Amino acid sequence: MPASILTRDESQSSARSVRFMDVVKRFGAVTAVERFNLTIEPGQFVTLLGPSGCGKSTTLNMIAGLELPTEGRILIGDRDVTAISPADRDIAMVFQSYALYPHLTIFENIAFPLRARRRRTEEADVVKKVKDAALMLGLDSLLHRFPREVSGGQRQRVALGRAMVRQPTVYLLDEPLSNLDQQLRVQMRSELKDLHLRLGATMLYVTHDQGEAMTLSDSIAVMSGGRIEQFGAPKDLYRNPANLFVARFLGEPGMTIIEGQVDNRTFRAPDVVHDAPSVISGTRLAMGVRPEDLTPCQPDNGPMSGIVRTIEFLGSRSLIRVDVGPVLVTAFIASEAEVRIGERIGLKPTTPTSVCWFDLETSQALPRVAVC
């Protein structure tokens, strides 16, 4: 991609914070978003991550003004935009379906926001800005074509061009990569990251793809059932999930959760005996461990043991699934490790700190200090 045509100062000046204050959205009897509180700092790349129907797109639409919150307020910068029309919010949005105007050429599509009556952009300025944006996105030779005449990846860039041709306060991106094939998605992902670094803009990204969320974001808000389960830096969320939902949802595959009981600082579950955090005896806990934090050992030497059910060869390593009591435990092992299906093996955490503990009553994680 050619070098940036926007100076950082120029774009940074337009970046604004976004604040949700007790936002609730109901559709009839269904609550799509529940008591949503979130602050996104200017220039941050924040992802709303969650399964389908968790309310992430509704949240994005509320910032855009395409949906009105039932309760609460939304602020962009210091401005309360809760009831302001989308056109007056000065935001840009990239839709999952790209939403390019089919009767307009690529040039006219990118120029469309600038030509809005309320912006009053000089035509010479429009031409310059569109050409600059097209150059930045590698679309300069396609400007006279129509959306139907370009490829999926190029359409995606046109949608991005339409968003960045003016300097909006916030960029909203609704699963913009989900319609691309795997290879193009990885490429566009890094281009998007690059674009964010160069524009220094506030970007709010919605996806159900945790790979995208992890690689792109400064912070991630994991959502489920219209609520934020956890908000934080990708690494923090991955290493220290706040509850069972985040533990299971993040990671490919997610964290293995083994439910059991604590007696005399010892955690017991079928085929599992492990040192437990200091909690009252009889407390029911869940032990969580990531597949890469388990290492195979002799069946009698490890805190857990089980029968190997499947082995998936992944190149540099293999993913094994082991029946430990009623739980299917996943673990990454070196691909050259001698393990056979049906064999009984032991598994142990690589370090004591790699184990997370959750209270089964509340589903919340226990503070780390209690574990280590």
Partner 1 sequence: MNWRGRLQFALLIIPASVVVLGPILWALSTSLKPNDRIFAVPPRLIPDAPTLTHYARLIAEGVHWSFFNSALYAVTSVVAAVSIGAVAGYALVRFPVRFKPLVLVLFMAALAVPSYALLLPTQIIFVQLGLFDTRLALPILYATHIIPFAVWMTRAHFASVPIELEHAALVDGYSRAEAVWKVILPGAMPAIIAASTFGFLYSWNDYITATTMVDSPARRTLPVALIFFQGFHGRDWGALMAGVIIATLPPVTLFLIFRRHLIGGFSEGSVKG
**Near partner 1 by CB under 8 A: residue from 117, 141, 351, 361:** 117
**Near partner 1 by CB under 8 A: residue from 84, 112, 232, 292:** 112
- Identity of the residue, 178 or 266, whose beta carbon is nearer to partner 1 in the bound complex: 178
- Identity of the residue, 110 or 308, whose beta carbon is nearer to partner 1 in the bound complex: 110
Q: Which of residues 82-111 bind partner 1 (CB under 8 A)?
A: 85-87, 89, 91-93, 95-103
Site string for partner 1, 137-156 (x = CB under 8 A): ---------xxxx-xx--xx
Q: Give the burial class of 68: count Cβ atoms within 10 A of its Cβ; 0-12 exposed, 13-18 middle, 19 or more buried.
A: exposed
- Identity of the residue, 84 or 127, whose beta carbon is nearer to partner 1 in the bound complex: 84
Minimum distance of partner 1 from residue 65's CB (angstroms): 7
If binding is defined by CB under 8 A, does position 55 make contact with partner 1?
no
Nearest Cα neighbor of 41 from 84, 76, 88, 69 is 76
Q: Which of residues 162-181 bind partner 1 (CB under 8 A)?
A: 162, 172, 179-180
- Identity of the residue, 85 or 141, whose beta carbon is nearer to partner 1 in the bound complex: 85
Check the CA dihedral 202-60-74-232 and report its sign. negative
Minimum distance of partner 1 from residue 118's CB (angstroms): 6
CA distance linking residue 305 with residue 327, whole number of Å: 11
Minimum distance of partner 1 from residue 157's CB (angstroms): 12
Minimum distance of partner 1 from residue 152's CB (angstroms): 3
Minimum distance of partner 1 from residue 181's CB (angstroms): 8
Choose one: 21-29, 81-89, 127-135, 320-328; the region binding partner 1 (CB under 8 A): 81-89
Give exposure, 238-264, as e/b (b: 16+ Cβ within 10 Å): beebbbbbbbebbbeebbbbbbbebee
If binding is defined by CB under 8 A, does position 28 make contact with partner 1?
no
Minimum distance of partner 1 from residue 125's CB (angstroms): 15
Choose one: 80-88, 124-132, 257-265, 357-365; the region binding partner 1 (CB under 8 A): 80-88
Q: What is the dihedral of CA 106, 111, 112, 116, to 10 degrees?
A: -170
Chain-centroid distance, C-alpha 364: 21
If binding is defined by CB under 8 A, does position 235 make contact with partner 1?
no
Residues within the interface to partner 1 (CB under 8 A) = 64-66, 85-87, 89, 91-93, 95-103, 112-113, 116-119, 146-149, 151-152, 155-156, 162, 172, 179-180
